[in-house]
Structures are given as C-alpha cells and as structure tokens.
Amino acid sequence: MIFVTGGAGYIGSHVVKELINKDYEVVVLDNLSEGHREAVHVKAKFIKGDIRNEQDLISVFSQFPISAVIHFAAHCYIGESVINPAIYYENNVQGTLNLLKVMKNYQITKLVFSSSCAVYGKTNNVISEKLDTKPINPYGWSKLMCEQMIKDFYKAFSLNYVILRYFNVTGADIKGQIGEDHNPETHLIPNILEHLLGKKEKIQVFGNDYETKDGTCIRDYIHVSDLANAHVRALEYMIENKNTHKIYNVGNEQGYSVNEIIKVCENISKKKATVEYVNRREGDPPILIASSLQIRNELNWEAKYDLKQMIETAWNWFTAYPNGYSKITNIEDE
C-alpha cells in the first residue's frame, strides 16, 4: 500500500488518481487546510490528520501495510513564506522530520519527496541538478532542509529516496474530474482564468522591470498529469532498484514570460485581460527553466502536454466548475 501525505491537494490528488489507475492501493493523510476531501479518489482510503502530529502518522503506519511513501504535505507559497516563515519551518521541516522518524521506526525504506525549483534561487540559466542550491526565500530553504534530512536518513538508515524538484505546475485532469482549487489563489494561470471568467477585476503582474525579453518573470510550466506520472515512475524505479538515492528536475524545458502566458490565456478564452503591473515580490527569481534530461534518460519520462494543452485543460476545469470542489462529489474510476 502506498501512503500519500497531502493527497487531497492539487498535485497530490492527481498522483493518487494515477496510482489508483495503475492498481496500487493508496491511503491518504491530509489535514484539509488546503486540500479537498472531494478530490480524493473513492478507491483511496482517506484519513484526516496532520504530519505535525506524530501520533497521526503512527496511526496510519500501525493500521495499514505501508510499503512506500509519497510526501506532498507542505505549505508552498513563496510570498507567504517571506511574511510568515515560522509556519514553513514548522510544517514543512518539522512535519517531514516526524514522517522520517516514523518511517524509520516502521522500517519503511522508500520515499518520493515533493521538492521545488525554489531550492536553486536566482539563476539565468537552464537549471540542471548540478547547479548549486542557494534558496532566496524561506519556502526554498524549507524544501532544501527537508532534502538534507532525507539524505542524512539515507546514510544512517538506508532510506531509499527520489526527490523531485519541479517547476510551475498547471492544468487539470484530462477527464475533467479534478483540478486546481485554492483559496486564496496565488498561482498565475488560475488567477488569469478566473479574471477572464469575470470572477476578478484584473490581473496583477508582480514586476515588469526584470532583465527578461519583456520585463516580466520567465517560468517553466508543467502539466499536473505529467507531474503525476513522474511521481509514479519514481516510485516504480525505487521498487525495481535497491539503494536508490536520486534527485530529478521535472519540467517542460521551455520558459514563458508572464505576458506570454496572459496572451495564451486570452487566445484560449477569446477574452481580453485587464492587466495591472505592480512592484516585484520579494523572493521571486527572474528566470526559472528546468533541464529534465536526467529524468528522461534514467526514468524514461518526458512531458507530453504543451502550454496550450495545459491552459486548455485548466480553462475547461474552471468553466465547468467555477466554484471548485464545492459542487463536486468524490471522483470515480475513469
């Protein structure tokens, strides 16, 4: 059985669906602070709990025959982490330490960890896994601290791990069953689409004075279903290979500026956006683009969906469910 922390969240729920469709048994732990119970596949066992509470974790491992863990449960907003770093270190770092200790006690030796490109910090290059890690915000630091703890547990207790550092995730399930639903919403593409649906007055763009082609930040976007597939590939790689300790970037290897993203959203929605340029956010690097060469070569993984498809699936989700999960029941099989 696969244990997924944060499995009711945006990315976690897509991974759970991918696992279920591949006939894995899954148990999900989520405190529902940011996730949605309705997003969890009906075939997955759901437990409401918190990784900050060690007893919640012990309860799962004592009840179920866990063979591997996929760990998402984390706060993940850069701006919020700058304003309130304490909750990032408490939840992301202490919560992960709790998980690692309980895994050790129950002799569970396989972990896929959800990390982030935020561990790299500022860069104007295509990012490979060899680049130095120099976070510039507490969120990035919290993820890098978790990575270090995982490496230490590998050395001390033979914990097998695959760390996935991914970039900007977007889109929705191809079948339209699950998608992105955050409150408040801070991600660029959902904010643009909600504006184009008339739910927001305008789009705020944080900075148009970066040293980029049009002054706005450049990011690498990946479809959430491609990312879900990468997690399952990582899990299966660990099952097939002993003594696994790998770190992979997961991205589309293409950079798009904020202005370019707005244009594609306008084209798909056939609506015109109202844009307001405001000051930069502290902690935002100007350019983040992934090299996914290593995961392609070693796990035979590659992104299938291009930017247009990413935004089309997101647009379909937001138009079908403008109120998010409030009108949806738990998802069934395909």
Q: Which of 317, 272, 285, 71 minimizes the C-alpha distance to 170?
A: 317
* Helices and strands of the chain, counted as H and E runs: 11, 14
- Whole-Å CA distances, 25 to 65, 225, 314: 10, 19, 28
* Both structure tokens of 161: 């791990």
Residue 94 neighbours by CB distance under 10 Å: 15
Length reported for the chain: 334
- The HSE-up count of residue 142 (CA atoms within 13 Å, CB side) is 26
Work out the percent of the chain whose per-residue pLDDT is above 90.
80
- Using CA of residue 78, residue 84, residue 89, residue 94, what is the dihedral sign? negative
For this structure, is 139 an active site residue? Answer: yes
Q: Please classify residue 272 by burial: count the beta carbons closer than 10 Å to its beta carbon, then call 0-12 exposed, 13-18 middle and 19+ buried.
A: exposed
Q: Residue 253: pLDDT band by 50, 70, 90 thresholds?
A: confident
Q: Which CATH class is domain 2-325?
A: alpha beta
303 near 13, Cβ under 8 Å?
no
- Tell me the pLDDT tens digit for each residue of 114-149: 999 899 887 767 899 999 999 989 999 999 999 999
Question: Concatenated DSSP letters for 179-195?
Answer: ----SS---HHHHHHHH
Give the pLDDT confidence score for residue 327 in this predicted structure. 56
Q: Which of 234, 237, 235 minimizes the C-alpha distance to 248?
A: 234
Q: Across residues 218-237, what is the average pLDDT? A: 95
CA–CA dist 175, 313 (Å, integer): 9
Give the pLDDT confidence score for residue 59 in this predicted structure. 97
CA–CA dist 113, 231 (Å, integer): 9
Catalytic residue among 139, 161, 166, 221: 139
Q: Across residues 207-228, what is the average pLDDT? A: 93
| 238: pLDDT strictly greater than 70 | yes
Domain boundaries, the chain: 2-325
> Which residues, other chains included, contact 31 with Cβ-Cβ below 8 Å and sequence gap of 6+?
48, 49, 50, 73
CA–CA dist 328, 37 (Å, integer): 10
The residues facing 309 across adjacent strands are none
Amino acid, res. 227: L
Give the pLDDT confidence score for residue 334 in this predicted structure. 45
CA–CA dist 96, 182 (Å, integer): 23
CA–CA dist 28, 330 (Å, integer): 14
The chain-wide mean pLDDT, for the chain, equals 92
> Which residues, other chains included, contact 282 with Cβ-Cβ below 8 Å and sequence gap of 6+?
79, 82, 137
